[in-house]
Structure 1
């Protein structure tokens, strides 16, 4: 897809924390700079991997403001702004627009289960009308987490009602047929479809999708960048194989603690293991297993970071 606002490889960035569990903005900004220098075209911040729903409204604003103040380009940031409460989603979306973000990633209202398409349309209509189309809206389709999927009929209705505002989707369903159906139905109108899983990067680009927004891009984005640049051929195929193996390794343990473990060992900074409950750091056995799996995948060592250290 040409001219996609976030076309390419986007990391669903981790949110480092201080020992008191407050966001560590210096470490996060440094991580964002490293990601942008090592294969990422953009950064999905304050999403699932960034533990957005473990942070309060004021914390989420402070994180975004802190990154921009530390020189992370607002145009490269796609912050998550979807909340169960409509007014919170409106406030965060307006705030992201004020910071200069070109788009926001919005979960459906996820507390009440089995809402109708009419109810979801009403929710997103209110969001668009109350924010005045200040920034582009990307739908976050992650039914395993939200329990609220976006149907093709709902997307079509939203695109007709709000052309140019409803701009795309991150599909973390793991159902590639659903991603392909969205591309077939809507990509011709400039609707950007992003995979939430590394295993589909090469395929989604070939089918007319815009790229990916993935958790494992925190550590494997440089291989995604090869796939994005080359698309086909031996080099692209080899890089896609690394993405597949890295994704499998990342999901062999609890995903977010596992990625934090890789960062802790790769940087020699044990603070990366700090995580808000209900998430917990990996056990020693899990830590050893995921490190070995990422080594076998070909991702390690991470470029430009300190030599790896053993678990503490």
Structure 2
């Protein structure tokens, strides 16, 4: 897809934490800079992997502002701003717009289960009207986590009601047939479809999707960048095989603590293991197993790390 605002490889960025579990913006910015220098085109901050729903609205605003203050380009960030409250969703979205972000990612209102398409339309329609334009709205289809799927019918109604406002979707369902159906139905209208699963990056790009927004990009972005740049051929195929292998390694243990463990060991920095409850760090046996799974892929040491970090990883 041409001219996608976040076209390419986007990491669902981990949120670094201090000892008191407050956001560690210096560490997070350092990681974000590494991601942008090593294959990422953009940064999905405060999504599932970034533990967005473990942070207050004021903390979420401070994270976005703090990254920008530390020279992370606002235009590269797609903050997650969707919560169950219309009022707070609008507030967070308008805040992202004021900081210079080009788009935001909206979860559906996830507390009340089995809402109708009409109910979901009313929610997103009200959000769009109150936000007032000036920022692209991306929808987050992750029914395994939110328990609120987003149907093709709903997407079509939103695009008809708000042309150019609902700009795309992140599909983390793992169901490629659903991603392809979204591409076929809406990509001709400029709607950007992003895979939340690394194993589909090469395929979705070939079939009209915009790229990916994935958790494993925190560690495998080097190979994602090759797939996005090359698309086809032996080098792209080899890089896609690495994306698929590292995705399997990332999901072999609970995803967020798994990735924190990989980054902690790769950077020789124990602080990356800090995580907000109810999530917990991996115990030693699980951590060793997770690390061994990543090592077995050939991805470790991670390309682009400093000499000290490389030495620690080895």
Q: Deviations over 1:267-290 (max 9, x none)?
A: 111000000000000011111111
Q: Distance in 1 between matches of 2:277 and 2:22?
A: 12
Aligned partner of residue 305 in structure 2, secondary structure: coil
Aligned partner of 1:67 in structure 2 is 67
Tell me if structure 2 keeps the 8 A contact 1:267–1:308: no
Inter-partner Cα distance in structure 1 for 2:228 and 2:293: 24
In the TM superposition, what is the alpha-carbon distance from 1:308 to its structure 2 partner? Answer: 5.5
The equivalent of 2:181 in structure 1 is: 181
More deviation in 300-309 or 278-287? 300-309
Counterpart-to-counterpart distance in 2, 1:111 and 1:74: 30
Moved more, 289-298 or 147-156: 289-298
**RMSD (Å), alpha carbons:** 0.9
How far did 1:292 drift?
1.1
Alignment of 1:115-264 (within 5 A): 115-264=115-264
| Gaps in structure 1 of 5+ consecutive residues | none
Q: Does the C-alpha gap of structure 1 residues 178 and 269 become closer, same or farther in structure 2, counting only changes over 3 Å?
A: same
Length, aligned pairs only: 310
1:5 is matched with: 5
Contact 2:140 2:171 in 1 (8 A): yes
Which residue of 2 is the match for residue 307 of structure 1? 310
Query: Matched residue of 1:307: which SS?
Result: helix
What SS is found at the alignment partner of 1:39?
Answer: coil
Residues 216 and 259 in structure 1, CA contact (< 8 A), matched pair in contact too: yes
Q: Give unpaired runs (5+ residues) of structure 2.
A: none
Measure how far apart 1:304 and its partner are: 1.8
Which residue in 1 is equivalent to 2:43? 43
**TM-fit CA distance, 1:134:** 2.4
CA drift of 1:133 comes to 1.2
**Alpha-carbon distance in 2 for matches of 1:53, 1:100:** 22
- Where 1:219 maps in the other structure, the secondary structure is helix
